[in-house]
Amino acid sequence: MTDYGIARRRMVEEQLVARGIRNERIIEAFLTVPRHLFLDPAVRSRAYDGCSFPIGYNQTISQPFIQAAMMQHLDIKSTDRVLEIGTGSGYQTAILSLIAREVCSIERIEALSAAAEAVLTEIPTGRIRLKAGDGSAGWPYYSPFDKIIVSAATNERPGELLAQLAENGCLIAPVQDIEEQLVLYRRRGEEIEEQKLSRCSFVPLLKGVG
């Protein structure tokens, strides 16, 4: 039998800490959440290899490093309310729930949202609200959000989501321009500051429901 705890610790050391993840609460959350439970049984033994995997419906669970790096850029506080676009497997939702006050997460493919919910109710997490639907419109009912994390690539400025940021709040998203890169936005009053970060590669943000 695979010792998932040892594999998980090694993943955190070699894939996250060695590559610049320094935020203690992020590290602790990745040490806690059982990534293998969010994967197809056929690939579970490789759950802590640090790579992305198919999760069905042409979607993938992202690499832990890129997820951790996005969270580190957002500098999520334990008092923050976070909106996640693209629940996917629910793995990142579980991590976010341990470092934030509350996570609201939207997934356009209903079957993925339901599968994520099934796993998330089986493990200890923080406060999570899930919804199946088109996340590009955000979740106005629960807005404003202190932090927004978009896990699928968009080719336009995520305007409706930026409108749901709290004052001083940040949004991180993969944005496809000439090339795909992570962009960090911050609200300052009526202004939105924009900072381009590293290149990246995500599945596309699609309109409508699947």
**62 DSSP assignment:** P
Strand order in the sheet with 102-107: 127-132, 102-107, 81-85, 145-150, 165-176, 180-188, 191-199
From the list 52, 62, 136, 143, the catalytic residue is 62
| CA dihedral for 113, 119, 121, 125, sign (positive or negative) | negative
User: Nearest approach, Cβ of 189 to ligand SAH (angstroms)?
Assistant: 28
Residue with tokens 């090339």: 179
User: Nearest approach, Cβ of 124 to ligand SAH (angstroms)?
Assistant: 18
Binding flag, residue 11, ligand SAH (CB under 6 A):
no
Which residues neighbour 42 within 8 Å (Cβ) at sequence distance 6 or greater?
A: none
From the CB of residue 113, how many other CB atoms can be counted at a distance below 10 Å?
22
- Candidate ranges 24-32, 70-78, 131-139, 191-199; the one touching ligand SAH (CB under 6 A): 131-139
- Candidate ranges 9-17, 23-31, 69-77, 198-206; the one touching ligand SAH (CB under 6 A): 198-206
In the annotation, is 45 catalytic? Answer: no
Burial of 156 (0-12, 13-18, 19+ CB in 10 A): exposed
Closest residue by Cα to residue 97 from 112, 84, 110, 114:
84
Binding flag, residue 88, ligand SAH (CB under 6 A):
yes
Count the residues of the shown chain that bind ligand SAH, applying the rule CB under 6 A: 24
Interaction pattern, residues 56-85, with ligand SAH; x per rule: CB under 6 A: ---xxxx----------------------x
Closer Cβ to ligand SAH, 1 or 114, answer by number: 114
Residue with tokens 């911050």: 186
Closer Cβ to ligand SAH, 135 or 169, answer by number: 135
Binding flag, residue 113, ligand SAH (CB under 6 A):
no
Residue ranges of alpha helices (H) inside 121-173 are 159-162
The one among 8, 81, 108, 187 contacting ligand SAH by CB under 6 A = 108
Closer Cβ to ligand SAH, 89 or 169, answer by number: 89
Residues that bind ligand SAH (CB under 6 A): 55, 59-62, 85-86, 88-89, 91-92, 106-109, 112, 134-136, 151-152, 203, 205-206
Q: Which residues are catalytic?
A: 62
